[in-house]
Amino acid sequence: MRLWAEIDSSRLAYNLKLLRDTVFPSEIMLVVKANAYGHGLEPIVQIADKLRVEWIGVTSANEAESVFISGYRGKIFCFFEPEDEDEAEYLISKNISFNLFSRKTLETTVKASRRLNKPAHVHVKINTGMNRLGLRPKEFEGYIELIKDKKEILLDGLWTHFATSELPENEFVIEQLKEFNKLARKAKKVFPDLILHAANTGGALYYPEARLDLVRIGIGAYGYFPSFDSPRVIDLQPVLKLKAKITSVNLLTRGEGVSYGLRWKAEKETYVGIVSAGYADGIPYQASGKINVRYKDRIFKQVGSICMDQFAVNFEDMFPEIGDEVEIIYEDQTAEDIAKKSQTITYEILTGIGSRVQRVVV
Ligand SMILES: Cc1ncc(COP(=O)(O)O)c(C=O)c1O
């Protein structure tokens, strides 16, 4: 194994406990889309199952199936509408609840339900201002009328999604929530047991009034905050470390360069080691020359262009052993630090950790 991500299960448990205590009595939906934010869907779901996490959130029937196959016994919710009748049929057959807001998917869902002779459990999404998915508030009552008497559709929940919840005291979050609550109150007169949910990590942390029945937590569970400026109101711990092996070492003389474009040149005689991780594994090309690695408790600079499968490190006067491991994402260089240095966001660094990276639970 040349390149691997260590997934610290006790840190995931710690973050989830902290988040649960914070949002209690609301329930938690752990969002595991995009390979559990790069952490590996299967191991994360298995840990979540042991921790009795109430809900798991995914974006497709495929991801839902992976959650199911991983042995998860709690409730699963799919953020996207099923793409076709087969997807709808799969979700209904496994009691997986899913998003529903379009007329087209309503039709497909009814057909799939009839095929199975089993009703679908749905949560209708309301678009309160994010303007991605969901019903416009003015369409809401008409849609509820449409589904109200259909025995194929069981309306279990109503939900929405915030566009600006990564910072506290944002007016737009309050407006979105107000609009959502207004419609939810109306709907509850007909469906008194509706589950209401709106908050992501930012919503859950900074807007207690938005916690409602359950919160959909992604980034927070993995130990990060939604943005660089998000206040650190609880002590989250990153769950993932990225490690790789040194595969080669060259003693460069002054003036010799390394990697494509020879963008970095040695100023003096120095050991340059090659590490087996590249941009295809999620180390951004943009981070070239800006990140470091930890090796034997010392910090060494990454130098030259990051390649598809490898990058170079200036080990200076230290001769590193081929086959030794270095740490790339670790306590003092988190995914957030790498995101800052690459002009992107923490989410992109985590979800960019590629399929060649083995996930090892510790
Ligand atoms: C609909 C929805 N809910 C919840 C989340 C979780 O967000 P976060 O990772 O900020 O907690 C996401 C993630 O993008 C999402 O798309």
126-181 residue pLDDT tens = 999 999 999 999 999 999 999 998 999 999 999 999 999 999 999 999 999 999 99
* DSSP symbol at 362: -
| Ligand 1 centroid – CA 267 distance (Å) | 46
- Token pair 């029937």 is found at 61
Nearest 5°: CA angle at 106, between 103 and 111?
A: 135
Q: Is 200 in the pocket of ligand 1 (CB under 6 A)?
A: yes
Q: Could you tell me if 342 and 287 are in contact, meaning their C-beta atoms sit under 8 angstroms apart?
A: yes
Closest CA to 131 of 83, 172, 90: 172
Q: State which amino acid sits at residue 339.
A: A
Q: Could you tell me if 307 and 259 are in contact, meaning their C-beta atoms sit under 8 angstroms apart?
A: yes
| pLDDT score at 28 | 97
| pLDDT score at 205 | 98
Q: Is 201 in the pocket of ligand 1 (CB under 6 A)?
A: yes
Q: Is 216 in the pocket of ligand 1 (CB under 6 A)?
A: yes
* DSSP symbol at 95: T
Q: Is 246 in the pocket of ligand 1 (CB under 6 A)?
A: no
| pLDDT score at 157 | 98
| pLDDT score at 125 | 98
Query: Where are the chain's structural domains?
Result: 9-217, 240-361
For the segment(s) 9-217, the CATH number from 3.30.460.80, 3.40.50.2000, 3.30.750.24, 3.20.20.10 is 3.20.20.10
The whole-model pTM stands at 0.96
Q: Could you tell me if 239 and 329 are in contact, meaning their C-beta atoms sit under 8 angstroms apart?
A: no
| pLDDT score at 284 | 98
**Both tokens assigned to 209:** 């009034």
Closest CA to 210 of 199, 226, 195: 199
Catalytic residue positions, numbered:
33, 260
| Ligand 1 centroid – CA 162 distance (Å) | 9
Task: Provide the CATH topology of domain 240-361.
Answer: Lyase, Ornithine Decarboxylase; Chain A, domain 1 (2.40.37)
d(CA 262, CA 362): 38
Chunked mean pLDDT (size 10), the chain, 362 residues: 97 98 98 98 97 97 95 97 96 97 97 98 97 95 93 98 98 98 95 97 98 98 98 98 98 98 97 98 98 98 98 97 98 98 98 97 96
| Ligand 1 centroid – CA 215 distance (Å) | 10
| pLDDT score at 240 | 98
| Ligand 1 centroid – CA 300 distance (Å) | 35
Question: Where on the phi/psi map is residue 323: left (φ > 0), alpha (ψ -120 to 50), or beta?
Answer: left
Phi then psi for 64, rounded to 5 degrees?
-60, -40
Q: What is the dihedral of CA 321, 324, 326, 331, to 10 degrees?
A: -120
Q: Is 219 in the pocket of ligand 1 (CB under 6 A)?
A: yes
